[in-house]
Amino acid sequence: FWTFMFLELTAVGTIYKALGLLGVTFSAEYALAFAISRPIKRVRLPLNLAAAALLARVCPPLAKVEIMALMGILTTSPSHGDKQTNTQGSEKQFGQKLMERTTDLINKYGACYYLGSRIVGVTIIFALYQAILNGMDVSWIMEKFGVSDKLGETLGTWAAAVTIASLAAPVNFVLLPTVVPRVASQFASFRK
């Protein structure tokens, strides 16, 4: 999991630096669209599942890749051996049931869920950005937080780097088997 996160953050930083070297900047409005999209992420599960189902029909082998297992996160489907549960008596806690159900849904669609949620997320960001560019008044938010043009461009470019890295994230699953052993050996050499 930590190696995956390291790859994600490295990708964001690298893309941000590349955008800067190329002189490409994004506006404060883009940063704001990105920020507004973050809370929406919590309630877009139905859209993510619809996108995952569509991708699973188009490319069935992707649905077999269990993302939660690949990332080292607890899997709860019976095919993975004993469920690790924290129960009080015979009743599971609500949060645990919700986590198990969510994990099962994500594993049902596998990599299709992962890719579908990335596509939905980027689509929402661009839809919000277009709404802002087409007249949705957000100037009061910029004024309230004192976002200058320069800061807005920095935030917008960082948000764009995160968005681009999000779309490029499937590459991390290709790199993961290559990078993990090398990183582990580097850590082992530091301990000696």
Distance from C-alpha of 44 to C-alpha of 140, rounded to nearest angstrom: 26
Residue 79 has pLDDT above 60, yes or no: no
Confidence bin at 78 (pLDDT 50/70/90): very low
CA terminus-to-terminus distance, the chain: 24
Q: Half-sphere exposure of residue 176, counting CA atoms within 13 Å on the CB side?
A: 17
Cα-only R_g, the chain: 20
Per-residue model confidence as pLDDT tens digits over 90-135: 456 877 887 787 778 778 888 888 889 889 999 999 999 999 999 8
The 3-state DSSP class for residue 28 equals helix
Look at the block and give the residue holding tokens 């960001």: 125
User: What average pLDDT does the structure give for the chain?
Assistant: 80
Q: Does the pLDDT value for residue 53 go beyond 90?
A: yes
> How far is 133 from 152, CA to CA, in rounded Å?
15
What pLDDT, on a 0 to 100 scale, did the predictor assign at position 175? 64
Tally the C-alpha atoms within 13 A of residue 2's C-alpha that lie toward its C-beta: 4
Burial class (CB in 10 A: 0-12, 13-18, 19+), 90: exposed
pTM of the model: 0.70
Return the pLDDT at 180. Answer: 63
For residue 162 the two structure tokens come to 């995160």
- Give the pLDDT band (50/70/90) at residue 30: very high
Predicted pLDDT of residue 76? 45
Predicted local distance difference test score (pLDDT) of residue 23: 94
pLDDT confidence bin for 89, thresholds 50/70/90: very low
pLDDT in tens, 163-175: 998 887 777 666 6
**Greater model confidence, 68 or 49:** 49
Residue given tokens 């919700």 in the structure block: 98
